Amino acid sequence: MAKELHHFINGAKVAGTSGRTLGVFNPNTGEVTAHTPLASADEVRAGIASSAAAFPGWAATNPQRRARVMFEFKRLLEDNMDELAEMLSSEHGKVIADSKGDVQRGLEVIEFACGIPHLQKGEFTEGAGPDIDMYSMRQPLGVCAGITPFNFPAMIPMWMFGVAIACGNTFVCKPSEKDPSVPLRLAELFMEAGAPAGVLNVVNGDKEAVDTLLTDPQVEAISFVGSSTIAEYIYATGAAHGKRVQAMGGAKNHAIIMPDADLDRVVDDLIGAGYGSAGERCMALSVAVPVGKETGDRLIEKLIPRVESLKVGLSTDTDADYGPMVTAEQRDKVAGWIDRGVEQGADLLVDGRGFELQGYEDGFFIGGSLFDNVTPDMDIWKEEIFGPVLSVVRADTFEEAAELPSAHQYGNGVAIFTRDGDAARSFASKVNVGMVGINVPIPVPLAYHSFGGWKRSAFGDTNQHGTEGVKFYTKVKTVTSRWPTGVKEGSSFVIPTMK
């Protein structure tokens, strides 16, 4: 029997009252395992009001006490890792190892946020003028909100609320309605860690909930991760209502493969980065660009048997390379992209369409697919597929290869595989992409750096987590102070006088 999920408002589970729900599936079986409530505008406003009420007290809590909550939350995440990973896999479909990685990468941002007493320090200048001191302070914004995607239901919420709350803000999270159980559980654990009620609220919903967060005057900042079309809408709507916005969009990440690269290692990396988590990653390597005919032929020769031998299995299967896709709609959408690639003339060397797992024919499975001779005029190069599909685009020269990611509408991540330091350095410096890997297939920065793409992969000027995240979730106040003792007669401090 499917369970009824809830919102988490003011430190407690709250049943939905809108009368609207959406089924949550187990992607392995295709069965509906839960119903998530879709909040009305009034329900979202209740979450916002709870966070607004909690903000003054939390903002006034000194940084080391806020850090202690983060330290305790980190411990609880570690203690509950297995539970969170199993819950995540049962709704998303990624294998347990990937689910643990999802939680771990979010946990690392919480570790970073434990250093908030240092990270939130301002600057001080003694003697900026005669008997004048000048200093700045970073202060929290107020109520912040996050709209998070289905593909990383643990990591991305923690990327957002971990830094925001450590800085003294309160937070309303609107998770994906496809797999909301982990964000709800994170909120429970955060309260257990010692956060006051209202500091973190989770409200489930669809566009009505999103639009309420974007337009409510009490919300000061919005963070989003999802498709570029929606990211652009989030940015435009939030900014029009006076909010600070960071909105991360889609991606088409290229791997440039030079003739001197270690092809065995490259193939290992392409298999993991291109097909892991069923390709449902915004940092998945979905385009391989071998330089030169020989490099391309050798790469294809090595890739075909590896893609054909990918093991697609249950999310609980420890031997599986990847599990099912999150929904039947997503699986069918990927199959449609493969259809289009064939229609437009790409060579489909390995076809994952029609794959079924014996005994789980109703699950949302699709096999790995491999295209060769993809060209930049094809839709499968232009658009994000978000599935286990790798496209090989051949290039004659390094310059031609490097131009492909630079010219693409997306600019999230890119990688180059080479032993040539000069080529790598030149590529990293000049490529028009926000995150670059040199012999690293998925160059997601660690928590103390920041995550963010360029072009249509990101809207807004500030990246996720790291010191950029602290900047996003705080505002700078600068104080110029003078005490009258010792001020010389006739001195003036009115700009532009120079007395």
Asked whether the predicted pLDDT for residue 469 surpasses 80, the reply is yes
Contacts of residue 147, defined as CB under 8 A and 6 or more positions apart, other chains included, come to 174, 210, 213, 222, 223, 224, 225, 226, 234
Kindly report the average pLDDT of the chain as a whole number: 96
Asked whether the predicted pLDDT for residue 449 surpasses 80, the reply is yes
Tokens (6 digits) for 372? 């060769």
pLDDT confidence of 270, banded at 50, 70, 90? Answer: very high
Asked whether the predicted pLDDT for residue 488 surpasses 70, the reply is no
Instruction: State the pLDDT at residue 489.
Output: 62
Mean pLDDT value across residues 132-148: 97
CA distance 136 to 480: 9
Instruction: State the pLDDT at residue 491.
Output: 61
CATH number corresponding to 3-249+457-478: 3.40.605.10
Asked whether the predicted pLDDT for residue 399 surpasses 80, the reply is yes
Contacts of residue 449, defined as CB under 8 A and 6 or more positions apart, other chains included, come to 466
Tokens (6 digits) for 79? 């203690």
59-84 residue pLDDT tens: 999 999 999 999 999 999 999 999 99
Query: Catalytic residue at 144?
Result: no
pLDDT confidence of 334, banded at 50, 70, 90? Answer: very high
| Angle (CA) 306 307 308, round 5° | 90
Instruction: State the pLDDT at residue 484.
Output: 80
274-312 residue pLDDT tens: 999 999 999 999 999 999 999 999 999 999 999 999 999
185-220 residue pLDDT tens: 999 999 999 999 999 999 999 999 999 999 999 999
414-440 residue pLDDT tens: 999 999 999 999 999 999 999 999 999
Instruction: State the pLDDT at residue 1.
Output: 84
Instruction: State the pLDDT at residue 496.
Output: 64
Instruction: State the pLDDT at residue 493.
Output: 58
338-368 residue pLDDT tens: 999 999 999 999 999 999 999 999 999 999 9
Q: Which fold has domain 253-438?
A: Aldehyde Dehydrogenase; Chain A, domain 2 (3.40.309)
Domain boundaries, the chain: 3-249+457-478, 253-438
pLDDT confidence of 492, banded at 50, 70, 90? Answer: low
94-121 residue pLDDT tens: 999 999 999 999 999 999 999 999 999 9
Domain 3-249+457-478 identical in fold to domain 253-438: no
CA distance 71 to 110: 8
Q: What is the 3-state secondary structure (H, E, C) of 158-172?
A: HHHHHHHHHCCCEEE
Instruction: State the pLDDT at residue 461.
Output: 87
pLDDT confidence of 485, banded at 50, 70, 90? Answer: confident
Q: What is the DSSP letter of 195?
A: P
